Chains A and B, each alone.
Chain A
Amino acid sequence: MTQTPAPYIALSGVRKAYRIGGEMMPIFAGLDLAIPRGDFVAVMGPSGSGKSTLLNMLAGIDRPDAGTLSIGTSRLDQMGEAARSAWRAHNMGIVFQFYNLLPMLTAAENVELPLLLKPLSRKERRMRVEKVLDLVGLSGREKQYPAMMSGGQQQRIGIARAIVSDPGLLLCDEPTGDLDRKSADEVLDMLRFLNRELEKTIVMVTHDPQAALYARRTLHLDKGDFVEEKRAA
């Protein structure tokens, strides 16, 4: 008997339905998914197929109605809100389509936000912020406000914020959905770098087939289930 290592992310029999106008609309009726550590998965699918719902469950901001959902050693489906919020602070970074930076904070302050939840000194926080800003190629722009930056730059700040507390998992919901091709490629290069060099596990929802090419593999979600799986070259 060969021992297969337990996957990093494991969904089994996950059900999720939303009440829409008094009727329960099932999104997932028994979804199974296994993602090993260090993978870079693109999730594609038509609008309304449940991509964001899946990502929200992985982020611990939404819960399955039934089934199990574990990431690493944590059973997210069994954890209460406080535990999930602490889990997020330590294990996961999230990148949004519209960056969601706080407008009254500078680039450096936006990146520093997740570190406020950690027992770090002011100096340690500053060093970490400098390090990740350098990583995303934005050192020297610490004091700029998001409103003064291009979309691509803002998204790189968003990525810096997502990785500043060094989480193992990175979740991205259409990270390039609001960017031109060139900026999108820069951001995707960066995600690939984070996956290849820093061994972050990445789950990225995207509508863009070109973006999906940066991932190691692509999952197609349709009518609440995965229909086929393609391996990137």
Chain B
Amino acid sequence: MTLFDLARKNAWRKPLRTVLLMVSIAVAFLIYGLTASFLAGTQGAAGASDDLLGVTSAGGRTQPLPMAAMSRIAADPGVAAVGYVTRLRGFVDVEKNVVAISAADPDLLMAVNGKGLGLTPALVGAIGQGRDRVLVGRALAEAQGWSVGQRATITAFDTPREDGSRDWRFEIAGIFEGESAATDTYFMIARYDYVNAARARGKDTVDAFVVLPRMGVSPGELAAGIDTLFANSATPTRTQSEKQFLEAFLRQYADVGLIVNLVVGAAFVTLLMIVVNTMVFAVRERTFEIGVLKTLGFSRLGIMALILGETLFVFAVGGGIGLALAKLATILAGPTLGLVFSAPVLAKALVIIAVLGLATGALPAFNAMRTPIIKAFRTR
């Protein structure tokens, strides 16, 4: 037996109480694991490149830029390649089932970000064979159950066709995988020439240019250079790294990171209260016994270690279960939802386990430490 065995046995004296504590801890860490994985994954822009630059209108992302701006960007000596994207948002069958379409020039997209998206010459060749062909990201294809050769209809939210219809029909020419699990592949790539010709409004404009800086050129300086170029034009630009771009994009809806932190923070604070309260009572019930241990020669420090060991044990088991479940969820659903249970997520969770384990044990440990033996003996 060791001091820690003793702490562990203490924890199991009221099995139901301990199991309930562990369940609430596991749930909190499951929530944490999932949300942190979400932030670490695609949606959180972690997989996005710091090098790629996105050029959008300074007036807001919904304002288009003229296609003509492309040649001026391409003329900058710091630019290795330029692509362009127009975004369509729509849905499949039901409005909840939102799908994003990036209409681009496949060859240019390949040159700019072929590696990041996992585009291959074969895929680019496939989409080139028909104007209404699309490439679908792996995550999106799996979520919708689409396969190559199938046709899909996307009803656009606010991009009507010239004929007044909002239904866009595409043929799936291929599926792209993305560079890694962290890459966002929950969208599809359509041909700009087709979309541009068929849409009723906004012809010959794009939502963004995507710029690949030349090797050795600082992305930050290049971004500033491009914005200077258009500063006095009719359409001033705002150039950001892809990462900043995605983060800003998410922030448009809400500051996801902040909301997630608030939710997780609230869960942990609640957990702290519950466990502290439970432990204060659990330890108070044992006041007499702690007096016995002190009589045997256990020091204040020993008593403190015993109680902290107990809360740490409860948190380690509960937190471990919660994180294991979160990990399992990211393995099972990770690709579709863009969840990445990364090493930093795990490391942060372990720190939280340790901090909460110690914090919840501190008050009861302090109480137990302070109670004089004589007083402890009078509790029975």
Q: Do A and B come from the same complex?
A: yes
In the assembled complex, which residues on chain A have CB atoms less than 8 Å from the CB atom of B1?
105, 109, 112, 116, 125
Is the CB of A14 closer than 8 A to any CB of chain B?
no
- Give A116 to B298 CA distance when docked, in angstroms: 9
In the assembled complex, which residues on chain A have CB atoms less than 8 Å from the CB atom of B12?
104
Interface SS majority for chain A = helix
Is the CB of B299 closer than 8 A to any CB of chain A?
yes
Is the CB of A62 closer than 8 A to any CB of chain B?
yes
- Give A59 to B6 CA distance when docked, in angstroms: 24
A102 contacts B2, CB within 8 Å? no
In the assembled complex, which residues on chain B have CB atoms less than 8 Å from the CB atom of A88?
295-297
Measured as residues with beta carbon below 8 angstroms from the partner, the interface class of chain A is 20 to 34
Is the CB of B374 closer than 8 A to any CB of chain A?
yes
Is the CB of B344 closer than 8 A to any CB of chain A?
no
In the assembled complex, which residues on chain A have CB atoms less than 8 Å from the CB atom of B373?
56, 61-62
Is the CB of A114 closer than 8 A to any CB of chain B?
yes
- Closest partner residue, chain B, to A105 (CB atom): B9
Is the CB of A233 closer than 8 A to any CB of chain B?
no
B297 contacts A61, CB within 8 Å? no
Is the CB of B289 closer than 8 A to any CB of chain A?
yes
Query: Per-residue CB proximity of A80-106 to B under 8 Å, as 1/0?
Result: 011001111110001010001011110
In-complex Cβ contact of A89 among B3, B288, B297 (8 A): B297
* Closest chain B CB from A178 CB (angstroms): 13
- Closest partner residue, chain A, to B376 (CB atom): A61
B293 contacts A104, CB within 8 Å? no
* Closest chain A CB from B6 CB (angstroms): 7
- Closest partner residue, chain B, to A53 (CB atom): B374
Is the CB of B294 closer than 8 A to any CB of chain A?
yes
Query: How many interface residues does B have (CB within 8 Å)?
Result: 23
- Give A82 to B10 CA distance when docked, in angstroms: 24
B299 contacts A85, CB within 8 Å? yes
Is the CB of B199 closer than 8 A to any CB of chain A?
no
Query: Per-residue CB proximity of B283-304 to A under 8 Å, as 1/0?
Result: 0000011001111111110100
In the assembled complex, which residues on chain A have CB atoms less than 8 Å from the CB atom of B288?
100
Is the CB of B13 closer than 8 A to any CB of chain A?
yes
In the assembled complex, which residues on chain A have CB atoms less than 8 Å from the CB atom of B299?
82, 85-86, 117
In the assembled complex, which residues on chain B have CB atoms less than 8 Å from the CB atom of A125?
1
B374 contacts A113, CB within 8 Å? no
- Give A67 to B234 CA distance when docked, in angstroms: 96
- Give A103 to B14 CA distance when docked, in angstroms: 12
In the assembled complex, which residues on chain B have CB atoms less than 8 Å from the CB atom of A112?
1
Is the CB of A51 closer than 8 A to any CB of chain B?
no
In-complex Cβ contact of A114 among B3, B13, B297, B372 (8 A): B297
- Give A56 to B372 CA distance when docked, in angstroms: 12
In the assembled complex, which residues on chain B have CB atoms less than 8 Å from the CB atom of A161?
296
Given contacts A62-B374, A116-B2, A116-B3, contact A89 B296 (CB under 8 A): yes
- Closest partner residue, chain B, to A100 (CB atom): B292
A86 contacts B297, CB within 8 Å? yes
B300 contacts A85, CB within 8 Å? yes
Most buried by B among A82, A104, A161: A104
In the assembled complex, which residues on chain B have CB atoms less than 8 Å from the CB atom of A100?
288-289, 292
* Closest chain A CB from B2 CB (angstroms): 7
In-complex Cβ contact of A82 among B6, B293, B300, B374 (8 A): B300
In the assembled complex, which residues on chain B have CB atoms less than 8 Å from the CB atom of A62?
373-374
- Give A168 to B337 CA distance when docked, in angstroms: 69
- Give A87 to B3 CA distance when docked, in angstroms: 20
B297 contacts A102, CB within 8 Å? no
- Give A131 to B234 CA distance when docked, in angstroms: 95
- Closest partner residue, chain B, to A61 (CB atom): B373
- Give A90 to B372 CA distance when docked, in angstroms: 20
Given contacts A86-B297, A116-B1, A116-B3, contact A102 B302 (CB under 8 A): no
- Give A88 to B292 CA distance when docked, in angstroms: 12
Given contacts A61-B294, A88-B295, A116-B3, contact A104 B300 (CB under 8 A): no
For this complex, 8 residue pairs linking A to B, each with C-beta atoms less than 8 Å apart, are A85-B297, A90-B297, A94-B295, A94-B296, A104-B13, A116-B2, A117-B299, A125-B1
Given contacts A105-B1, A109-B1, A113-B6, 10 further A-B contacts (CB under 8 A): A61-B295, A85-B297, A85-B298, A103-B13, A104-B10, A104-B13, A116-B1, A116-B2, A116-B6, A117-B296
User: B residues bordering A, Cβ < 8 Å?
Assistant: 1-3, 6, 9-10, 12-13, 288-289, 292-300, 302, 372-374
For the complex of A and B, 9 pairs with smallest distance between CB atoms:
A89-B297, A61-B373, A88-B297, A100-B292, A104-B9, A114-B296, A85-B299, A109-B1, A104-B13
